[in-house]
Chains A and B, each alone.
Chain A
Amino acid sequence: MTGGPLLELDGLSTHYVGARGTRITRAVEDVSLTLNAGETLGIVGESGSGKTTLALSILRLLPPGARIVSGALRFEGEDLLAKSPREMQHIRGKRIAMILQDPMASLNPLFTVGDQVAEPIRVHEHASRRSAWAQARNLLGSVHIAAPERRVGEYPHQLSGGMRQRIVGAIAISCGPRLLIADEPTTSLDVTIQAQYLHLLSEIQRERGLALIFITHNLGIVARMCDTVAVMYAGRIVESGPVRRIFDAPAHPYTRALLESIPRFGEADVRLTAIDGQPPDPAALPAGCAFQPRCVKAIDRCRVERPPRFVVGAKHGAACWLCG
């Protein structure tokens, strides 16, 4: 392993091409990120901002019609875009793992929990059935599932939502990946369980030295879990930097608006500010800055030219003309 960053994205763009080539949806556009081992990066944005497509792009598991059209993607120094499907298959699950949002839907209802946890171990490490199942039992224990010997033979529908999501977590760490991507893992959990699950993720990360990419629309989670954060809007990163700095002094109007829309204790009389309008259709983006139609601080230049990323502080940048 080289001393460089774990994951590097450089100008990555993923487009969906529909209607016989006439309709291009720029789901992810010109995204550049760096992630070091053991770090936690939060990716924040509304639905449709391209967060999930970005995650799937990293794993190169895009739905039909979507393609990475430009940019670079490097993991542990290796160029992922140059890998064959077979090589990518070896990377997925083993070196980069992902957790999806809905644990009930992620688990196959016809197979036991043990089978599904043991599966990647058998495939990636060519373990025997017995050894894989033993490891599966241990994994269930390490995600704090009580009575793992019993649970291993049960089916997904017999478990609660929190337990299922832990199992999905166990599947993810089963082969010792260096990077874990979590796509809104707590969104479908009860609020009371959410905190427990985040605690579990932090623990796993510490114990195994994992780097974590946390995709969410919940800024509270970002504040709690992440070292750095990238804010996405209409497929682009509009602001990125250390969490502390961004929360204290957001540079981009969108980030600012997001922060202002969170209700805070003790501010009972302050009106919640919502952001007017709707996120744009990624197939028909406005000229200039994508956020400009909803931005209270827009100037004329914003309507015409798209702002590049301006450096606002140490490792902190925002794509806004007002920062230039």
Chain B
Amino acid sequence: MSNSRAASLTLPWRFPSVRIEAQALIPIVILTVLMLTAIFADVIAPYNPEIGTLGDRFQPPAWLTGGSTAHLLGTDHLGRDVLSRLIFGARVSMVVGFMAVIFAGVVGTVLGVLSGYLGGWVDQLIMRITDTWLALPGLTFAIFLAAIVGPSMWNIVIILALVFWTRYARVIRGEVLSLRERDFVRLAIVAGCSKRTIMRRHILPNVLNSAIVIATLMLGIVIVTEASLSFLGVGVPPPKPAWGLMLADGKKGMMAGYWWLTVLPGTCIALLVLSSNLLGDWLRVKLDPQLRQL
């Protein structure tokens, strides 16, 4: 049994031997900063993001005329501090994003492995469902679900996971199909391992690489979807700060020239998505060149 283990592909926990180049360093730094911001939001943010003084509304950022260091990045239409809202918004985005990606990943990978390895009616069933799911436009489907169950942070996470698990299932299933024919799996079958054991000990670790790459790439899409939902008003409900929501509010002030209310939250979203895409691309090349077609 241990021989077949040795024949499996690079396991993710052998990472330390991988050189980290500049291309990966920047996104990793950005992502770490964002994560830390999210975790320590209560400590870092200067103000309460949900309460504002109406008298202070629409103050510009500190470096423009009319701005002050009291509100480094200005205030919004309710007088709330933009910087604090951005910081807490990071928490919302990161939590929702990561949770959704992880849930979708777990469901998608498990179903992909089952579908690919067991074949037969299980495969057909799961594949039909996946195809149908994929035919549903992601954002529209998410909006539809949000309209049904009502918005709340956890609902959004579940909805996003529901919408995006199929992306994993498809690819993982493909991998499993080719893994199934590999010698070390055949050896395990000949040695008498049960299907469950084979799937758990031999197939699963080998698809983890792909799952991780897909996860990093999915993070970007999930974040944008969440921001879109918030922008449209069906995301995380106010007054909790979400970057998408800030953009929606900001739009109202745009024509009057209060540009920072849209540019700043948007930049944060773009930064997060950019970093996760960069990281995903780098991981994809490092872990498995076969995935280049993604």
User: A contacts B directly in the complex (CB < 8 Å)?
Assistant: no
